[in-house]
Amino acid sequence: MSGLRARLALSSYRWIGTAIYPLVWSYLAIRAAKGKEDPARRRERYGYASAPRPQGPLVWFHAASVGETAAVTPLIKEIRRRGIAVVLTTGTTTSARVAAERLGSTVVHQYVPLDFKPAVSRFLDYWEPDLAIIAESEIWPMTIIELGKRHIPQVLVNGRLSDRTFARWKKRPSLADALFENLALVIAQSDVDADRFRTLGALPVMVSGNLKVDTDAPPHDPKALKEYRQQIGARKSWAAISTFEGEENAAATVHGALKDRTGLLTIIVPRHPERCDAIEAALVAKGLKVARRTRNDPLTPDVDIFLGDTIGEMGLYLRLTEVAFVGRSLFAEGGQNPLEPAMLGCAVLSGGNVQNFRETYQMLAKNGSAKIVRDVEMLAKGVNYLLGNDDMRRSMIDAGLESVQQMRGALTATVKGLEPYINPLVVKARLEPRIEG
């Protein structure tokens, strides 16, 4: 009976994927208005290619946004080193820029086709991938179905399932089982994630650790870093990064409580830079002087807030401080990745809502490199204590660097898990004209 329900569920999804296709233009228009798409490349979302297919075997990598793109970059480089071509799809303009910066012309970038049958089929018909590698938790039913029909192996790497996503899939066990059984392999971040994938019907499942630990530290502009450090001088600084609504106000409250005692500079880097005009207006209304990166405003002694309103410069902002609060954790839920501040020499503070990065925070907290704060008052006390206690701050920084080193190894484990799928492609690539790049 469960098999019948699964077939009915999949049949319904196939029908929806075809019937609703004409409505997608409206969907795209909404997304484009939010700045998440490149209007000039909109046809790629319908599966229309804008670049020639490379010769020889081809691996399709999909990484939804910036974090996933950064996570799979070392893995893509390893695949390319073996002479196999890669087409990388992402879902946002931001992740497309990150791909261009870190991978350049070594891969072909396309925007991911919408999860509707005509778009997915058109994409697969053109690119004819030998293997599909999907990052983290990108489960698109129509894409999975179409890959399965073509007998193209599908591997989920750096796989994770948040509490909310897992609960959502558990409510649809027949559909989950019918979809997840199409995955040739799931390489999960943690034992918890692995158990969740198995519960939903995925087999085989292995654990690698988090690929994000094996990435390089985020890059920066050395000239800008030198100039800003000279402007900051001896002032104390701290950063609130990847912030969501409410957390910028919390950072302003902390700044107001501490600035008279420390001559403090507060760096705020919102998760969504398009909110920065509203954030600046709110900060100015509080009587704070704001400098913005996009305006190249100097960090003069009277500047209260340095607003990081650019994309792809987290490496710059984190190198300007040794104390970082990681957002989406105090008023929003899920948390953001604390590995970047840890690997760049910051003591890490966070709110308690870190469900999406639970294991990472547990490791950092266990080693003494991250502290959880309950509210704004506790955040202010934590920032004040760390800025005033060099020994404790240095101890947390050293523990963070050690924790990152201990967690490395996911890339090696992932490559080993992929070998049964990659090795035949290596042989095939050697029998065909060499791929440049």
Instruction: Give the catalytic positions in this structure.
Output: 68
The owner of tokens 């019937």 is: 19
Cis peptide before 218 (omega within 30 of 0): no
Q: Tally Cβ neighbours within 10 Å of residue 395.
A: 14
- Please name the amino acid found at residue 31: R
CA–CA separation, 322 and 317 (whole Å): 10
Bridge partners, 88 (sequence order): 61, 109
Across 308-333, b (16+ Cβ under 10 Å) vs e yields bbeebbbbbbbbbbbbbbbbbbbbbb
Burial 103-121 (b: 16+ CB within 10 A, else e): beebbbbbbbbbbbbbbbb
User: Helix, strand or coil for residue 270?
Assistant: strand
3-state helix, strand, coil in the chain (%, to 5): 55, 15, 30
CA distance 375 to 422: 48
3-state SS, residue 138:
coil
How many Å is the maximal CA-CA distance in the chain? 71
Q: How far apart are CA 170 and CA 177, in angstroms?
A: 10
Going by DSSP bridges, is the β-strand pair 265-270/237-243 parallel, antiparallel, or unpaired? parallel
Q: Are 374 and 353 in contact (CB under 8 A)?
A: no
Lookup result for tokens 């002479």:
83
Radius of gyration of the chain (CA): 23
* CA 104 and chain centroid, separation: 19
